[in-house]
Structures are given as C-alpha cells and as structure tokens.
Structure 1
Amino acid sequence: MRIAITHRTRYDFEEPVVHALQRLRLTPKSTSGQSIIEWSMNMEGAHRELEYEDHNCNTTTLVAVEPGIQQVKIECRGLVDTNDNAGVIGRHAGHLPIWHFAGQSKMTKPGSAMKAIVSGMADSDDRLDMLHELSAKVLDKVRYETGRTTSETTAEEAAEAGHGVCQDHAHIFIGCARHLGIPARYVSGYLMMEDRVMQEAGHAWAEAFIKDLGWVGFDISNGISPDARYVRVATGKDYSEAAPITGISFGGSGDSLSVELEVSQQTVEQ
C-alpha cells in the first residue's frame, strides 16, 4: 500500500522568542514492512541545525527558531510504501540492548491499578496469545476517551481513571508487559483511517519482543496488530523518547500548538 502523508505543525507565541530549540522526530523509519519513497521537511521561522540518528535509531532533526519571531510553521510531506506483516517487525536492531526495554520508566511504572489488569495472567510459552489477551484487557479496563489526559499523564494515572487515548493505552500495555517480564517499547506514527483523510493528531501503539518473532506491534486502542495502514516514525522506552516534537524556548510566552494532518492511500502506477 502506498500512503501519502502531509503533517503541518504551527507554533504561535504571544511575545517574540529570544531563543528556542526544537527536536523533531518526524521522518518515518525505513524498516521491515515499510520503505520511504519520498519525504520532505520545510519550515518557516526556524532553520535546521543538524540531523542525526538517536539511540533508538530515530531520524532526529534539531532546529533553531529565528530570534524575534512569533510563529513557526513546519510541514512534512511524503510517500511511504507499506506491507501487512501482521505487526511483525522482526529482529532487534539499534544501539540499545533488549534488556533496556524490560525496565520501567516514570511513565510506565505500574501501581495497583495496572497490577490488577495483569492479575491472574500467568506466564505462558505462547507469549503472542498472552500479549493479545493483555491488549484486550487494557482496552476493556481503560476506555478510549479524548480530552481527559495529557502527554504528561502516566500509565498508572490513566489506568486508575479508567479512560485515555492511544498514548495512554500504549503506556499501560508497555508497563504491564514489562511487569510480566516482556520487553516492550512505544511507537509513534501515522494510521490511515478508512472514513477520513483529515486527522487531529498522529497515532501511537506498542511493540513487544517475542522470542523467535522479534518485535511485534499491538495497537491497543483499535484492538489489532498494525497492518499496511500504519506508518512507523519513532520508537522509544516511552512517549518522551518518541515524541514528534520536543523543545525549549526563552523569551516567548503563551505559546500554542496546532496540527493539521492528512493521511490517505495513493494509487501506485504500474
């Protein structure tokens, strides 16, 4: 499947910025199940400082905001070819060992609510089935509901509240999988939806490492493993390592962020 993506991000500042740096993880990975046909990144009010591959093998672009500006626009546009591998990414690659993804982070550390989700789940030789069961249990206990959590909400807080979005579902699944002794990581990316092209934000899901299969994806919010409609952009121990945009600014106040996202299927000419 060929997927076309246009991702526009705009920052507005009430006062002129003196200094600001932004770290962008907005370039999809060339990896198992997907290949990048073309990808461009253009910006107004900022300029590239450097581009590098971080410790999670994410293409990372560091940009500096022009002094004195009050608005920054970043537009990414490209085409990605994808295959349906039933969520299987395969062997581990990168700079970090597998055991790094077995340890909890501040965002994924389980408390009583998350431990209740995995209560009664015994370790099994068929870890694939066990993880699908875990995915279903997380969705059953934590309903999908927007506007109730933020990017700072921890997995345990969302589990206690009983509601959240894809980021929360991924964090809860990851924390529970690690509690069961299974390495897991966070994935940020895009999902082509059947009923609309325009979207308000990107998507997030989780991957767990299973012997003989390698990394396998689980979209907890939709109750499936990723297929050809999914585009992987960044991975990390939790959201903080895979966030599309992070940064700091000085001299600007009251900043606001708006996102326009278009994801659609394109016809491949023979």
Structure 2
Amino acid sequence: MRLKVTHRTEYNYDEPIRYGLQRLRLWPVSGPAQTVLTWSVRVEGAREEVRFLDQFGNDTRLLSIDGEPHTIRVVAEGEVDTNDVAGVSGPHRGFAPLWLFQHETPLTAPGASIRQLAAGMGEGGDLERLHRLMAEIQMRIAYVPGTTDTQTTGEQALNKGTGVCQDHAHVFAACARLAGFPARYVSGYLMMNDTVEQVASHAWAEAFVDGLGWVGFDAANGISPDERYVRVAVGRDYREAMPISGILIGQAQERLAVHITVEQ
C-alpha cells in the first residue's frame, strides 16, 4: 500500500525567543515493513545545526532558535510503500544493546497494577502470551483523548482506566519487560479507516521475540501493525522517540498546533 503522509507542526510565541533547541525525529527509514519513496522536512524560523543517528538508530536533526521570528514551522511529508509483515520488523539494530530495552524508565516504571497485569499473561508460547497481554491492555484502558498527557506514566494510565496510544504502549512495554522480553516504544503514523485528518502521530510497542526479532503490538487498536502503519522512530518510551522535543530559554509563552494527514 502506498501511503502519503503530511505532518505539520507550528509553534507560535508571544515574544522573541532568547534561545532554544529542538530535536527532530521525523525521518522514517526503509525496512521489512516499508520502503520510503520520497520524504522531506521543511523548517521555517529555525536553523539546522547537526544531523546524526541517535543511540537507537533514529535519523535525528538538531535545530537552534533565537530572536525573531515568533513562529516556527516544521513540515514533514512524503510517500511510503508499506506491506503487511504481521508486525515483524526484524532483527535488532542500532547502537543501543538489546539488554537496554529490558530496563524501565520513569514513564514505564511498574507499580502494583502493572505487576499484577504482567503476572496474568499466563502460560503458552511467546506470541500467544504477548497477544493476550495486548488484548487485556485494550480492555483495561479505554481510548479517551484528553484524560492523560505526556507526563502520565503507564502505571497512572492503567489505574485511571483511560488514555491514548502512548499510554497503551507504555503499559505494554512495562509488562513485557517484567515477563522477560526486551520492549520498546515506536512512534509513527497510522492510516485510519474513518478519517484522514489527525491531530497527533501514532504510537505502539514492540517486544523482542527469539527467532523473530522485534514484533509490534498496537494495544490501542488490538492488532499487530499492518500495511496501514508507517514507523518513524523508536526508544524505550515516548520521551526517547517523540517526533519533536526541545528546550527554551526565556519567558516566551508557546502555542502549539499539529495537523497530520495519512492517506492512500
């Protein structure tokens, strides 16, 4: 399936910025599930300082900001050929060793609820247990935008019983690690069946399974990623894979607007 993606991000400030840095992870790479045909990222109001692969193998750019203008725009767009590989993205790659993905992070630190959920994965083969976990998380955390934010931990979302794809991915990764699987967070895009316009990118989790490599599980939708998905970046949690992150020095107040379309 050929997917066309447009991801527009606009920051507006009420006064000049003294200094700022932004890190962009907006470049998908070709792999078993996708072939990147065209891709570009346009930036207005900031300067690209350096390009590098981070420890997880993500194509990363560092931008600097100072003074005028009061608006920064980042537009990522392109076309990607995708295919359904049942969520299997293949062997481990990148500078980070596989064992690093067995370590918890502040957003995925398990509490009593996550430990109980992981203990209930039951017996069976690796894939059977992981699919059982995915189904249980989907049942336990209703998809309700606005009930959590980027600071919400997986434990908090599970106790609340509501959240978004970020929360589903954090809970899945935390439980999988407790069960002995290296696990990671994946950011990317999903072509939805009922709408083209979106206000946020998508996220899911992957667990490393012996004999298969990394296998994806989208607990928000209860499936393994198929040809409707475009993967962009990975990390141990949202903070390590988020599309745009940064810091500002000064008193400027920020307003953020995000507009995404994913279509054939």
Q: Normalising to structure 1: TM-score of the pair?
A: 0.95
Note if contact 1:127-1:210 (Cα within 8 Å) is conserved in structure 2.
yes
CA distance in 2, matches of 1:119, 1:85: 29
Query: What residue number does 2:180 align with?
Result: 181
Query: What residue number does 1:111 align with?
Result: 111
2:45 corresponds to 1:9 = no
The CA deviation string for residues 7-56 of structure 1, in whole angstroms up to 9 with x for no partner, is: 10000111111111100001112222111111111111112111111110
The one-letter code sitting in structure 2 at the alignment partner of 1:22 is Q
Partner SS state of residue 173, structure 1: helix
Note if contact 1:6-1:78 (Cα within 8 Å) is conserved in structure 2.
yes
Query: What residue number does 1:18 align with?
Result: 18
Percentage of identical aligned residues: 49
Query: What residue number does 1:43 align with?
Result: 43
Offset at residue 66 of structure 1 (A):
4.1
Offset at residue 230 of structure 1 (A):
0.3
Note if contact 1:101-1:185 (Cα within 8 Å) is conserved in structure 2.
yes
CA distance in 2, matches of 1:232, 1:141: 25
Partner SS state of residue 128, structure 2: helix
Q: Normalising to structure 2: TM-score of the pair?
A: 0.97
Aligned pair count?
264
The one-letter code sitting in structure 1 at the alignment partner of 2:34 is Q
The one-letter code sitting in structure 2 at the alignment partner of 1:177 is A
Note if contact 2:25-2:59 (Cα within 8 Å) is conserved in structure 1.
yes
The one-letter code sitting in structure 2 at the alignment partner of 1:167 is Q
Offset at residue 199 of structure 1 (A):
0.7
CA distance in 2, matches of 1:161, 1:226: 26
Query: What residue number does 1:165 align with?
Result: 164
CA distance in 2, matches of 1:121, 1:37: 39
The CA deviation string for residues 165-222 of structure 1, in whole angstroms up to 9 with x for no partner, is: 0000000000011011111000000001122211111000000000101100001000
Query: What residue number does 2:55 align with?
Result: 55
The one-letter code sitting in structure 2 at the alignment partner of 1:150 is D
Within 5 Å, which residues of 2 pair with 1:93-112? 93-112=93-112
The one-letter code sitting in structure 2 at the alignment partner of 1:245 is I
2:110 corresponds to 1:148 = no
Note if contact 2:7-2:76 (Cα within 8 Å) is conserved in structure 1.
yes
CA distance in 2, matches of 1:31, 1:132: 23
CA distance in 2, matches of 1:101, 1:120: 21
Query: What residue number does 1:195 align with?
Result: 194
Offset at residue 223 of structure 1 (A):
0.3
2:262 corresponds to 1:260 = no
The one-letter code sitting in structure 2 at the alignment partner of 1:49 is E
The CA deviation string for residues 99-118 of structure 1, in whole angstroms up to 9 with x for no partner, is: 11111111111101112222
Note if contact 1:187-1:233 (Cα within 8 Å) is conserved in structure 2.
yes
Note if contact 1:206-1:219 (Cα within 8 Å) is conserved in structure 2.
yes
Partner SS state of residue 259, structure 1: strand
CA distance in 2, matches of 1:181, 1:77: 37
The CA deviation string for residues 119-138 of structure 1, in whole angstroms up to 9 with x for no partner, is: 333454x1001000000111
Within 5 Å, which residues of 2 pair with 1:58-97? 58-97=58-97
Note if contact 1:13-1:252 (Cα within 8 Å) is conserved in structure 2.
no
Query: What residue number does 2:134 align with?
Result: 135
Task: Name stretches of at least 5 consecutive residues in structure 1 with no aligned partner.
Answer: 266-270
